[in-house]
Amino acid sequence: MPTESTFLLAGLFLLLAAAGWAMGRFGERDEEDAPPPLNIDYLKGLNFLLNEQTDQALEHFLEMVRVDDKTIETHFALGSLFRRRGEVDRAIRIHQNIIARPDLASEQRDQALFSLAKDYLHAGLLDRAEKLFVRLAEGSRYQVQALENLCRIYEQEKEWQKAIDAGQKLETLGGQSLALQIAHYYCELAEKSAREGDFSSARHYVKKAQSGRPRTMRGALTRAHIARETDDNKTAIRLYHRIIDEHTYIIAEALPEIVAAYERDGSTDGLDKALRNMLQGNPEMSSLIAYTAIINNIVGIPVIDDCVDDYILNEPTLSEFVDIHDLTNADEGSKSEALQKVRAALAKLAAATPRYQCQECGFSSQRLLWQCPSCRNWETQRPASRVQFDTVLQHSITNH
């Protein structure tokens, strides 16, 4: 099947032929009456295309049309068209051909290097793309874009220190704050060090993460992890306490760990008290705590059990299935049994739907992802605080 690029190349050959014909017709006055023959080169190029030999046609085009001031834009347009269509090898061939010109102006060389770097990125050749972006980041009019691309590459390669360096340079040049992004890079380094058992480096990186503004609660969470790993349960509890006081969405992530830390300490009374205090000032946090408890099967802490009961009794969609009036008036024994059944059913439903959703692009996942894999923003996912009944229904319809 001829592709869009085949047609574009065919168009280019025809244009070149027409230009040649026009020049022949009006340029050579002495042969006024006889139309010049079509140049054999164009016919050869077209012939390749008619036989669907796109690569040969491209080579022929590159041989025929030298890179100069008049034709360079055509080369760039053709290159970016090939890349957009996913024909990266051809885009690379064109951009390398431009760079090979010895008399190229430095601005055009930078443009060609930048285009080639994007081709490599597109082809997944990260090392080659990195090399070119590093060169452009040292000084060219593509400095800012090169640094942005470098951050993206280092994120993919988990080269966090290099990502920090590129991010800081970008902050200075671009004039925008990347504090949150850089704080996450430090958290990544801290978690990596902690995994390797190097806790003093891990603490150092968390400190760095928490020195910028805005702060990420991930820093406190990572510090708590380090404390737990080093058997410093008291510090872990103190940090978890701070997370509760901040009454942010991060409780959805931290609650199971917080409960485990208090249980290891021998009593969950302190947790019960801390949560009650927090809920007094922030009653809207109740459903998030309830939903988190339902998903993680956290039972036996009075304040959390109360949140879950409230949640079940006040969930409007549930009233379609459960007779709330009967439930409220039932004796304690049968009430708790009925609530337990609803709770188990909700946990099953919740497990079948994504829990976290990106506020920027809508990407959703079961686990919290600090960086959205779709839009690549940091810390843009938020947890759902109720069962998404519409999603559950959609899910069951598409699966049946």
Residues that bind Zn ion (CB under 5 A): 358, 360-361, 363, 372, 374-375
Residue 362: CB minimum distance to Zn ion, A:
7
Nearer to Zn ion, 100 or 375 (CB): 375
Tokens of residue 320, six digits: 């379609």
Residue 361: CB minimum distance to Zn ion, A:
3
Q: In whole angstroms, what is the distance from residue 367 CA to residue 151 CA?
A: 24
Q: In whole angstroms, what is the distance from residue 288 CA to residue 318 CA?
A: 17
Nearer to Zn ion, 82 or 356 (CB): 356
Tokens of residue 313, six digits: 């009794």
Residue 297: CB minimum distance to Zn ion, A:
29
Residue 140: CB minimum distance to Zn ion, A:
30
For 378, phi then psi, to 5°, come to: -95, 140
Q: In whole angstroms, what is the distance from residue 104 CA to residue 102 CA?
A: 6
Residue 340: CB minimum distance to Zn ion, A:
37
Q: Which residues does 243 contact at the CB level (< 8 Å), separation at least 6?
A: 217, 220, 221, 224, 250, 251, 254, 258
Closest to 72 (Cα-Cα) out of 49, 54, 39, 99: 99
Nearer to Zn ion, 199 or 370 (CB): 370
Nearer to Zn ion, 97 or 364 (CB): 364
Residue 48: CB minimum distance to Zn ion, A:
44
Nearer to Zn ion, 323 or 360 (CB): 360
Nearer to Zn ion, 22 or 375 (CB): 375
Closest to 341 (Cα-Cα) out of 320, 327, 325: 327
Evaluate whether 122 touches 88 at the Cβ level (below 8 Å): yes
Evaluate whether 177 touches 171 at the Cβ level (below 8 Å): yes
